[in-house]
């Protein structure tokens, strides 16, 4: 890329706070493009994930950059990264900064695309049908974390989505059902689904996915796992934010322990219904359920998480969005609620505003 292109990108990044367009394309010439986007938000949270039942305002910002370059008439190279800065119950200038995505790939058009780097497993696409709330959505899913060390192939056509990825060996791998990051030897994930043309008020989508992860570090964490297997299936009808939308997903996880006392299992499902008005108002309601089955000899007991969630959002402009969100514990087993602290399960309320550029 020419120096002039890089200069334009740097200038655009410095001006994003005053940008009035979404995902601004700052360069497009000779088959090379460069887009810059992101968002800034402030969110009032009543007791959510804090050490006490007091409200706090969290500020969070994301910046992403995407570039493409035409290699041949049938292949286009691309790269993407997104970084996040998040101050949640912490005013430290360096608090919680992380790379969300970082990958490069080649798009072969009708023959699919290949990419490598940091992103979610292929399975995540299968459960994305219920991940529609503003802040804390998809609460029954297990295994949708972003991690590095992946390579994935995706093909889409005739309504079909097919994807498979390999996970290479890596340290500090994140899994939402484990209490700490782990060392991974390898693994793989796959997803397959079909989305129909419009039927009455929208398309119907059926999806399924599977993930296998092999841990090479067998000690030093609560679960003492050899490997984890996750299977999920999802279905939806409609287009979210455009009229009526309904979706559900089911997830099953099996964690093989290396201490010969039995396997741990987690099962969950989620149901979501939504309606998007022409005025820009979107209403969502969801029910999430997780059941934890643990063998005798494990310190933690069996338990269930039950959560009812509702949101109301309004797009004041294409770039500026305000919303309210509430999560109600529905008789979860003590200690298994989504918002558990100070020895009890709590409800949670949020009000937020987001500017997207």
pLDDT digits (tens, 9 = 90+) for 164-183: 999 998 887 777 666 667 77
pLDDT per position as a tens digit, 130-156: 999 888 776 766 666 888 999 999 999
* Residue 324 to residue 108: CA distance in whole angstroms: 41
* Residue 112 to residue 163: CA distance in whole angstroms: 9
Domains of the chain: residue spans and CATH:
119-315 (2.40.160.10)
Give me the chain's average pLDDT, please. 83
pLDDT per position as a tens digit, 186-242: 899 999 999 999 999 999 999 999 999 888 655 444 445 678 899 999 999 999 999
* Residue 52 pLDDT > 90: no
The pLDDT score that the predictor gives to residue 194 is 98
Buried b vs exposed e over 334-351: b needs ≥16 C-beta within 10 Å? eebbbbbeeeebbbbebb
Least confident of 4-18, 190-204, 259-273, 333-347: 4-18
Q: Which residues contact 94 (CB under 8 A, 6 or more apart)?
A: none
Q: Give the pLDDT band of residue 304 (cuts 50, 70, 90).
A: confident
The pLDDT score that the predictor gives to residue 16 is 36
Residue 96 · residue 88 · CB < 8 Å:
yes
Comparison of pLDDT for 63 and 222, the residue scoring more: 63
The pLDDT score that the predictor gives to residue 91 is 64
């Amino acid at each position: 890329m020419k120096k002039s292109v890089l200069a334009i990108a740097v200038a655009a990044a410095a001006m994003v706070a005053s940008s009035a367009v979404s995902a601004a394309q700052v360069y497009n010439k000779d088959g090379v493009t460069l887009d810059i986007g992101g968002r800034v938000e402030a969110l009032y949270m009543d007791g959510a994930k804090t050490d006490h039942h007091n409200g706090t305002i969290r500020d969070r910002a994301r910046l992403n950059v995407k570039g493409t370059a035409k290699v041949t008439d049938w292949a286009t190279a691309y790269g993407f990264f997104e970084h996040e800065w998040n101050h949640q119950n912490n005013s430290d200038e360096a608090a919680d900064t992380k790379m969300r995505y970082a990958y490069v790939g080649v798009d072969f058009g009708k023959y699919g695309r290949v990419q490598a780097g940091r992103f979610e497993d292929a399975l995540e696409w299968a459960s994305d049908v219920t991940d529609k709330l503003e802040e804390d959505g998809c609460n029954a899913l297990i295994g949708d974390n972003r991690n590095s060390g992946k390579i994935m192939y995706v093909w889409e056509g005739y309504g079909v989505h097919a994807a498979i990825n390999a996970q290479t060996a890596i340290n500090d791998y994140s899994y939402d059902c484990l209490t700490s990051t782990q060392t991974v030897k390898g693994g793989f994930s796959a997803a397959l689904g079909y989305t129909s043309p419009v039927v009455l008020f929208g398309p119907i989508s059926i999806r399924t996915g599977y993930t296998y992860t092999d841990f090479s570090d067998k000690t030093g964490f609560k679960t003492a796992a050899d490997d984890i297997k996750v299977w999920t299936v999802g279905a939806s009808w409609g287009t979210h934010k455009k009229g009526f939308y309904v979706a559900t997903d089911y997830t099953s996880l099996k964690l093989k322990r290396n201490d010969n006392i039995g396997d741990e299992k987690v099962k969950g499902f989620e149901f979501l219904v939504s309606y998007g008005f022409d005025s820009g108002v979107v209403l969502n309601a969801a029910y999430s359920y997780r059941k934890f089955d643990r063998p005798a000899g494990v310190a933690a007991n069996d338990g269930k998480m039950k959560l009812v969630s509702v949101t109301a959002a309004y797009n004041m402009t294409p770039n500026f969005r305000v919303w309210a969100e509430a999560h109600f514990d529905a008789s979860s087993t003590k200690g298994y609620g989504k918002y558990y602290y100070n020895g009890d399960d709590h409800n949670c309320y949020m009000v937020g505003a987001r500017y997207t550029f």
